[in-house]
Amino acid sequence: MNDSSPALVEVQHLSKVFRDFWRRPKVQAVDDVSFSIRRGEVFGLLGPNGSGKSTTIKMLLGLLFPTRGTIQVLGRSPRDVQNKRRIGYLPEESYLYSYLTSWETLDFYGRLFDLGPAERRARIDQLLDMIGLRHARNRVVGEFSKGMARRIGLAQALINDPDFIILDEPTSGLDPIGCRQIKDLILTLARRGKTILMTSHLLADVEDVCDRVAILYNGRVQAQGTIDELLQEAERFRLTLPHGVTRAQAEHLAAEAARLTGIPPELDHPRRDLEQFFLQVVEKARAAASSSSGVGSDQGVATYLRPAETTASNPSTPPTAPPPEDVDKALASLVRRDPPE
Amino acid sequence: MNRILAIALLSLRSAVRSRMVAVLMCLLVGIMALLPWVIKGDGTISGTIHLLLSYSLGLATTVIAMALLWAGSFAVSAEIQDKTIQTLATKPVSRFHLWAGKWLGLNLLGFLLLAFCGIVTYALLQAQLRSDRWTPDDLATVQRQLTAHAEFRPDQPDFEAQARHELVATPDRTRPDDRSPAERLQQRRQTLIAEFYSVRPLNRNQWTFSPLRGQTEDRPLILRYRFTSSVIGQDAVSGRWLIGTAEKPDQFTHTITHTPRVWNEITVPRHPDWSAKPIVVTYLNEDPGGATLLLDMDQGLTLLAPADPFAVNYLRVLLVKFAQLSFLTALGITAGCLFSLPVAALVSMYILLLVQLGSYIQGMATNEFSLTSAAGIERTTIDLALIAIYKGLAFLLSPLVPGDELTRLANGLLVTWWSALRHLTLQGLLMALLLGAFASYALNRRELALPQS
């Protein structure tokens, strides 16, 4: 993604007022929100509960109508039915039919996109592998845990290989492994040129995957920009010392810095990321025991969601899962960016 | 179409897996198998057939109609309530696709349930016909009932024009009359109809039927009629029927002592002249008690001609019923598109109530004089408003009120292919799709993800 990419979503002065039965204004959920999302960008809508994230998304999908302002999604009105062929949506809760099995659920949504039977079957199998629920293909969704239902919800959002993916709280209800997988998937899809809009109140999730974010509070955009623009403290500097430097050497450097600047710097040990640490522990445990939960081991990203050249050799063979630490490298080698239209 | 079929299959799965179908099937089997035992019939095979067709199958179709109306009202409103619509509506599915898919799925369910009831009732009927309870005479009699007969009614003069002509030509100035011209016209018209269907003592009356063109059958005709006697308490009236052409009115004669207030049937051998010339039916009132014979004005005198086997007629009646179910399903789904779940359910119940009261409302609208306290008194504005409301309601309810097809079937009367196709296309398809267009327009204007209070 670069700054010159055309805007896929344009939101101008968007407002939404919820009214009561007598049409009296009850709540102003969104207030004069403007932003645009460029093709191939991962855009995050951040904000606490009730800040207007989901309402904004529902207006982008035509599920709610703006009180004021304009929305263009893929160059058309959000209520344009044909436009929805190119959109994938994961709602904040996985609103699925509890009486359908996971296979039937994906088959149903596949039919809505006019996918042929063979293609539908292939995509469903790949998606079930990807979300680690192949073993639960004949279980009804009503019996699933929240995390499992979330995974099926994600799969249904991707069944049509959409250009624009909207993920409302995608990691909600997932364990850290699931969260990591979702984030890896988002990065993979972004590298393939997909445009992604996600909401979250888990800031670490957003920081890991988003190119740009808008922070909503009380229905208004409070801040907007790239992660670096928003988080970088341009007037402060951090010095990271390589392995092998002793404490005495570090203290000496700190003393030198204090002498030069007149202000003593802070000296402490860097900490590992808790998520990375957790994943390493679980990976070690997984190697010891074959399975541990309702969710089976995932088989990486669905073949049809990957670039064509990586699947052409043997599309029927499911990909093997790379070790977590190599995920980024493996994905980077698999994906390509779709050329901009 | 693929999307509509996908949603239809989903609706069907929802109904089956929610155990609605299983419960309904049990209920329907209970109705069809137990009702003939619970309701005491008249002990004849004819009465038993009436019970099976009019009561058991009639009640079963009513139960299916209620279930489909109910399920229809839940079909979309429950999706909105459970928020599954928020996933569904973000797929390339138009609101009409959504409505049509739900309608098709529930229609398929209605079709399967109706077919189930139809097959069970037919099997029970065949079992009755094979029962040892009935004598060969009983079975011979019931053959008439189990053959579909085409109905022919006497040609009627234009009573309205005749009444108007008489009032203008010979105005009754012998007594003061405070009735409005419209009421005088209406009363004169009723008198003419009554005179047309009555035969005074030691008098005769004649009715002309159009030639039975296109009738290839050579089986005998049946003269079917019901009457009341002017002598209260009289239980037998004597007379003579003559049937023929205008030139030869007595090609068939039959002297009879018949019973008031029940259906009387006379078998009439078919004459070759009748397929080309009008048939003239004459009744000579030879009753020694001096009773006037008053034939039922609505359907008091008909000539029946055998037309089709029972099974074909039965199939057509089931098609008519299916068309009615299809319309009710469409109505239920439309209610669910317009209102939230509890309101849609209430609206469905209200529709059911109106369907049950439909015949009464139609009667009130047709016989508007009963709305005024007494004939001859000027109607008030309230009366006129009531009449307008009843007429409007009757018009709206006309597709909902169940017809008398099951009674016709049980009486051995023909329900034509034309009637079945008309119901299927107009009621089952066209009017249902009109409702669908309205529902999808309303859904397009409805926000599907409003926070629920």
pLDDT tens-digit map of B133-156: 878 887 887 888 888 888 888 888
Q: Which residue of B has its CA nearest to A117?
A: B2
pLDDT at A333 over 80: no
User: In the predicted model, what is the mean pLDDT of residues B146-172?
Assistant: 82
Express as a percent the part of chain B with pLDDT over 90: 28
Query: Is residue B20 within 8 angstroms of chain A, CB to CB?
Result: no
pLDDT at A264 over 90: no
pLDDT at A318 over 60: no
Measured between alpha carbons, how far is B381 from B377 in angstroms, rounded to an integer? 13
Measured between alpha carbons, how far is A194 from A303 in angstroms, rounded to an integer? 15
Query: Is residue B441 within 8 angstroms of chain A, CB to CB?
Result: no
CATH class of B152-308: mainly beta
Nearest residue, CB atoms, A91 vs list B2, B3, B87: B87
pLDDT at B372 over 60: no
Pairing of strands A212-217, A42-46: parallel
Number of Cα atoms under 13 Å in the Cβ half of residue A24: 1
User: In the predicted model, what is the mean pLDDT of residues A100-104?
Assistant: 93
Instruction: Provide the 3-class DSSP secondary structure of residue A25.
Output: strand
Chain B residues close to A114, C-beta within 8 Å:
2-3
Residue in this structure with the two tokens 């008309």, named with its chain if needed: B422
**B345: phi then psi, degrees, rounded to nearest 5:** -65, -40
Q: Which two tokens stand for residue B18?
A: 């929610």
B 88-107 residues inside an 8 A Cβ radius of A: 88-94
Query: Is residue B6 within 8 angstroms of chain A, CB to CB?
Result: yes
Instruction: Provide the 3-class DSSP secondary structure of residue A339.
Output: coil
User: In the predicted model, what is the mean pLDDT of residues B325-352?
Assistant: 89
More confident residue, B12 or B183: B12
Residues paired with A27 in a beta bridge: A18
Contact yes or no for A89 and B447 at CB 8 A: no
Q: Which two tokens stand for residue A147?
A: 């995390």
Stretch among B67-81, B123-137, B179-193 having the lowest mean pLDDT: B179-193
More confident residue, A321 or B336: B336
Express as a percent the part of chain A with pLDDT over 70: 81
**B108: exposed, middle or buried (Cβ count in 10 Å: 0-12, 13-18, 19+):** middle
Q: pLDDT per residue over B72-84, tens digit each?
A: 998 899 899 889 9
pLDDT at B337 over 60: yes
Between A and B, how many residue pairs show a Cβ–Cβ distance under 8 A? 75
What is the separation of C-alpha A336 from the centre of its chain, rounded to a whole number of angstroms? 18
Q: pLDDT per residue over A40-66, tens digit each?
A: 899 998 888 888 888 999 999 999 999
Task: Output the pLDDT for position A308.
Answer: 54
Q: State which amino acid sits at residue A210.
A: C
User: In the predicted model, what is the mean pLDDT of residues A236-260?
Assistant: 86
Measured between alpha carbons, how far is B442 from B437 in angstroms, rounded to an integer? 9
User: In the predicted model, what is the mean pLDDT of residues A13-19?
Assistant: 91
pLDDT at A303 over 90: no
More confident residue, A149 or B368: A149
Query: Is residue B112 within 8 angstroms of chain A, CB to CB?
Result: no
pLDDT band at A5; cut points 50, 70, 90: low
pLDDT at A208 over 60: yes
Q: In chain B, where does the domain assigned CATH 2.60.120 lie?
A: 152-308
User: In the predicted model, what is the mean pLDDT of residues B430-439?
Assistant: 93
